[in-house]
A and B are shown apart, each in its own frame.
Chain A
Amino acid sequence: MIAKSNHLQLPKGYTVDLPVEELPAQKVLFVPLTNGRCPKGELTIKEGDKVNFCQEIGVRHGPFFDQPIFAPCSGTFVGMEKHGYRNGKVLDYLKFENDMQDTMDPSVRVRSDEEIESLTQEQLVELLKHYSAVGLGGSSFPTYIKMQTKEKINTILIDGVECEPYVTADHRALQERCDDVIKAMMILQRIFGTKDARICIKKKHSELLDPFKKALANHPDCGVTMQLLGSYYPQGWEVAMIEKATGIKVKPGTLPAKYGILNFNVSSMIQMWNIVKYGIPVMSREINVNGDEIVSPKTLKVRIGTPFSALIEACGGYKNPDASKILIVGGAMMGSTIPSDDCITTRTVTSIVVNDKKEYKEEPCVRCGSCVLSCPAHLHPVTVMMVMKTMPVDKQKIKALHPERCMLCGLCSYSCTSKIHLTDYMRRAQVIAKLP
């Protein structure tokens, strides 16, 4: 079939209609000492120390910024343990025994509305930096860097599109916490001096308009609107979203702020509201547990630091425990698989998908052109594959095809009629193009 295939054929077990279930905090919780962006960590507490909920217990050092570490519960710090991280690597985790009291740290305090009203951009940036707010869509880009911008901002876009199949966490969050999102957007509107703030959702999710209108009734003059965008993949990619919502084409390699646009994820907005109002960083979030191999797929509200096994248990476990499976962290299109379910929930985990492993037989390319038609970045995945197959690889040819513009959405592999793993060739081409 020679066709642009950006409407994904969705598998069954879609959790969009199920309400969020709260998973009680586990007896034992884990927090990574380091993470993908910050390779070094330092602790200010010792083994056996008592900690309070949201207490600052250490700091992770990254190349550009530091992230403070917060205790996920009140209880005792019992020591270090090794567990898997969402990228498949094994990291050192701090192990906490939960005393189920959730005693708040004395440093946490609720801000009054007047205080929030008088918040300046510098104060907000300082606050977000202190609580290490990052983008919760999955990329974990530090939010304060976006907030620091000195450009004139015309439009604030909140990304509630969630184009990935299986992922419905933001959808549920918008349904249940729309008020917080709007309040957070009002802070941004005031700070950046613009009225134009929009929540972007998929056209097929127009049922979100009801909770939005209900929440909007509390803030009649805020000017926040909801915009319906296309229902296709990858509409949630910021470039595609901005182009569809405002008509502005963001050139590859530039930040949207240059064009007067600030864009955030829905969960990031809720996070920001929690930080500004209650002074607590992300301590729990909505996570989809989904896939063909899960007995009863659910959207769970999970305390950060819960092991994956507890989530999967709460969803009824695996259908066929002995079959070979793939465990995807993130969506089925862009998420990464991890080699075991011994992994810990961090705040950037949006969903867990467990599917059975499918083997695809690779046929020779028949040059149908579906990958080129589908590519949202308008690249030529098939040509990249041809160049990558020649030995030795011609670096100049690879560079002329601009693999760096690819954001690995996976549509080329998805649409390939010959089942060629084009995204993998693209990944390798990106590495080669970066070589000196």
Chain B
Amino acid sequence: MNFVTESSPHIRRRATAYGMMADVLIALIPVILFSIGYGWWGVRNIIFPVLAMEIAEFCFVLIRNKGSFKERVKAYSPLNALTSAISGIIFGLMLPATNGPMMYFYLIIGALFGIIIGKLVFGGTGSNIFNPAAVAFVFTQICFGSSISSMGNFGDGAVHNFWIDMIFKSADVNTGATLLSSSSIFASPTPYTNISLLDLLLGNTAGAMGEVCKLAILIGLVYLLVRRAADWRVVAGFALTFIVLTFIAGLFVTYKGHAVDNPFLFVAYMLLSGGVLYGMTYMITDPVTMPIDAPARVSYGMLIAVFALFMRFFAANPEGVVYAILIMNAVATFLDYAKWSHSQFNKKDIIVYVCIAAVAILVICLGVNSKIDAFQAK
């Protein structure tokens, strides 16, 4: 008879961390399938960042752990492999499928920067403050953004997607400019008329290869929420705030004499263009970088939506979701501070949400109004 002692509890839940990460990987499959439609350029965008991040993570695990070489290799767990693969895929999908030879270099350098500065310097898996994929993308955009653009992405020379070519006749394939600079949003007439909502939903637009096909992303989002691999509180906080704020902006855009018929159409266009859905599905739901409490998670999602919209409406950069995520990653630690963090919703949370919403609505109203006036004066 051989009895062992251990401290309670003696049973555990079946769910595992790497199972959760595997769910994220499964949720990425529709987007990956769409990206494979770009041919080698799409596959390359996924493979190279993943390889770079895996190797960096592997070296980190080797350096960090003690013991013989075999033990160190064994310390490289499925969780390490999955998290770095997910970061790599998410980063790769945020770039356009272009055929410039320098892209290999950009992909690898961006991925390495993202995983080392975004994750490994903080202590590896689970200890990172910033989303590694977001760090990698922002680094790439700041350092090599213009060269990637000049290779003909986001427009003219973009590689055709097999799936899109199959669905649409070649004459219908859309290669128009992005909608998302503030000059496009508030210009009159807007370029919206060129692109139908169906084009946006299926991905018949130019742009980052993972972000264009909203249908694939929505399938992934549903899977994540059903499997509870993503916290619905963050997604709900983000989506609700985003929709309400764009609706208010849409009221101004509509009633100041624009091409958009009604504010609902404006909301649909804003939701379906750019990286909003992509960020909402795969980036803000990263559990490592979000706050730990349920009430704080809602305000985290709300604030990302607020910052993303501010950048989209008022900043020179056309896309703000990634920057908003990075800002809020830094703020998440502050929301977790033991003095005011609490795990149950109470009256104070409602006050916080109302305050965030009130400030955001005020800024959106004033800002959008003056923006439209400025455009009309031109």
Judge: A and B partners, yes or no: yes
User: Which residues of A line the B interface, CB within 8 A?
Assistant: 1-3, 5, 8-9, 11, 88, 165, 318, 321-328, 332-341, 353, 355, 357-358, 360-361, 363-370, 372-373, 375, 378-380, 382-383, 397, 400-401, 408, 410-411, 413-419, 421, 423-424, 427
Name 27 interchain pairs, CB-CB below 8 A, sorted by A: A1-B13, A1-B20, A2-B20, A8-B11, A9-B14, A165-B11, A325-B3, A327-B3, A332-B9, A335-B8, A338-B3, A341-B1, A353-B10, A357-B4, A363-B79, A364-B126, A367-B288, A367-B290, A370-B15, A372-B293, A378-B344, A379-B343, A380-B338, A413-B9, A417-B19, A418-B126, A424-B7
A16-B18 Cα distance, complex, nearest whole Å: 35
Would you call A366 and B124 a contact (CB within 8 A)?
no
Partner of B8, one of A339, A361, A410: A410
Contact A368 B17 (CB under 8 A): yes
- B343 contacts A410, C-beta separation under 8 Å: no
B19 touches A321 (CB 8 A): no
Min CB gap B74→A, angstroms: 11
**CB of A307 to closest CB in B, whole Å:** 14
Residues of B within 8 A of A165 (CB): 11
Q: How large is the interface on B (under 10, 10 to 19, 20 to 34, 35 or more residues)?
A: 35 or more
Q: Is the CB of B230 within 8 A of A414?
A: no
Cβ-based interface call for B341 (8 A): yes
Which residue of B is nearest A420, CB measured? Answer: B17
**B378: interface (CB < 8 Å):** no
Taking the closest CB of chain A, its distance from the CB of B299, in whole angstroms, is 14
A to B contact number (C-beta, < 8 Å): 175
User: Which B residues, 245 to 290, have Cβ-Cβ distances below 8 Å to chain A?
Assistant: 287-288, 290
Instruction: Tell me the minimal C-beta distance from A318 to chain B in angstroms.
Output: 8
- Contact across chains for B339 and A1 when beta carbons are under 8 A apart: no
**Is B15 a contact partner of A417 (Cβ separation < 8 A)?**
yes
Q: Are A333 and B338 in contact (CB under 8 A)?
A: no
Query: In the complex, how many angstroms separate the beta carbon of A191 from the nearest chain B beta carbon?
Result: 36
Which 3 pairs show the lowest CB-CB distances between chains A and B? A410-B9, A364-B126, A1-B15
Q: Is B77 an interface residue (CB 8 A)?
A: yes
Closest to A410 in B: B9
Contacting residues, chain B, for A400 (C-beta < 8 A): 338-339
Closest to B23 in A: A1
| Given A5-B15, A325-B2, 6 additional A-B pairs, CB 8 A | A1-B229, A2-B230, A326-B6, A328-B8, A335-B8, A378-B342
- Flag if B338 contacts A369 (CB, 8 Å): no
* Distance of B283 from chain A, by nearest CB (Å): 15
Whether B7 contacts A339 by the Cβ 8 Å rule is no
Nearest B residue to A357 via CB reads: B4
B13 close to A9 (CB less than 8 A): yes
User: How many whole Å from A293's CB to the nearest CB in chain B?
Assistant: 10
Interface string of B113-129 (1 = CB under 8 A from A): 00000000000111100
Task: Answer whether residue B294 sits at the interface, using C-beta atoms and an 8 A cutoff.
Answer: yes
Q: How far is the CA of A326 from the CA of B4 in the complex (A)?
A: 5
Which residue of A is nearest B21, CB measured? Answer: A366
Contacts of B77 in A (CB 8 A): 361, 363
- CB pair B126 A369 closer than 8 Å: no
CB pair B127–A364 under 8 Å, yes or no, is yes
Which A residues touch B292, using CB under 8 A?
Answer: 367, 369, 372, 380, 382-383
In angstroms, how far is the closest chain B Cβ from the Cβ of A317?
10
> Given the complex of chains A and B, what is the CA–CA distance between A243 and B127 in angstroms?
37
A414-B17 in contact (CB<8A)? no
Q: A2-B230, A326-B3, A341-B3 are in contact. Are A368 and B11 (CB under 8 A)?
A: no
CB pair A333–B16 under 8 Å, yes or no, is no
**Contacting pair B293 A88 (CB below 8 A):** no
- Whether a CB of chain A sits under 8 angstroms from the CB of B349 is no
CA distance A367 to B12 in the complex (A): 17
